[in-house]
Structure 1
Amino acid sequence: MTTIAYHHSTQIICVDSLTTTSQSIVTDEAQKCQRVYNGFVFATGNCTEIYHLLSNWKKNCFEAINCTFFFINKRDEVFYGEIRYGKRFLEPLQMNWAIGSGANWAIAAMDFGKSAMEAVQYACKRDKSSGGTVHSFSLKNTSKWLPFCAAPQHIKLMPDANVV
């Protein structure tokens, strides 16, 4: 899956870059920041479900998918989000938090005073589905994110791809 950590006091989001199937590494250079019409999304879960999330973001109507994400709106406010009952639900984040398969490791690291970068690096050491380069995104300068955040129309998947 992945590890995405948000450190509230520093306003930093960090994310690993590993993408895997149930048995193999697909790449350790994945870009996990995605642009949407009203902000940015950092999502965890199956790649086809993330594609569905991004493709249907604007109309807010989803199939039964299992996907959690961080959403950063145009005012640089951070939200924890999930899909339930075919709709997107958002909760403002006012604390350190992490999502993905390495979330527990990252949250524990931040509880012990580690930065978002250190938290994701630690999760990558313990979680078999997190790894690769750790990317850092500062909410104080979202304009620098654009080269690292793909627009949804650039996401291409092979038919029946089951990447998690």
Structure 2
Amino acid sequence: MTTIAYKDGVIAYDSRQTRGGAIVSDDAPKCQVVDGVSFFLAGAVCDEKALIAAYFGTPSAVPVECSGYAIDGGKLLMVGHDDKTGVWRQELDPANPDAIGSGSAFALAAMDMGASAEEAVRAAMKRDIYTGGKVRTMGIDQHGKASSSD
């Protein structure tokens, strides 16, 4: 999986991609921009395209193991899919830290202790074997515009 954390206008995420118990890459891109919407997804890579297609209303294979964040129209959303409702979108309060993915509990605890989103992902990397590689960040301004840094 991965760890994606949000705090104080910054989304931070690792670059590890795994398959089963093996590391496939420590330089995988986790941010995908489609039709002006930025997606930061955790879960099965094979389900990412299906979730994005379903987000835009295109019928495709059902995304089973994938969820994450989207920046759409200036709003930070948590996105995912379930069997009852299909694609769901939940607007997040930008004042509250949040994290998703296999290392989310570690990241949330770190942010509770004062860590930034980037520091929280680094903390998760120490304990979660599915989180690793580089930590990338993307800032979100009050108008929902994103700017990245590595």
TM range (shorter): 0.7 to 0.9
Give the distance between the partners of 1:15 and 1:5, measured in 2 at CA: 6
Give the distance between the partners of 1:106 and 1:84, measured in 2 at CA: 24
Structure with the higher strand share, 1 or 2: 2
| Aligned-pair CA distance for 1:60 | 5.4
CA RMSD, 1 decimal? 2.1
Q: Among the aligned pairs, what percent are the same residue?
A: 33
1:6 aligns with 6
1:3-152 to 2 correspondence within 5 Å? 3-7=3-7, 10-59=8-57, 61=59, 63=62, 65-75=64-74, 77-85=75-83, 87-94=86-93, 95-140=96-141, 142=145, 144-145=147-148
- TM-score of the superposition, structure 1-length normalised? 0.80
Give the distance between the partners of 1:38 and 1:91, measured in 2 at CA: 18
Compared with structure 1, are the counterparts of its residues 93 and 143 closer, same or farther at alpha carbon in structure 2 (3 Å cutoff)?
closer
May I ask how many residue pairs the two structures share in their alignment? 144
| Aligned-pair CA distance for 1:23 | 2.5
In the alignment, residue 5 of structure 1 is paired with which amino acid? A
Structure with the higher helix share, 1 or 2: 1
For structure 1, the residue ranges without an aligned partner over 5 or more in a row are: 149-164
| Aligned-pair CA distance for 1:47 | 0.6
| Aligned-pair CA distance for 1:120 | 0.1
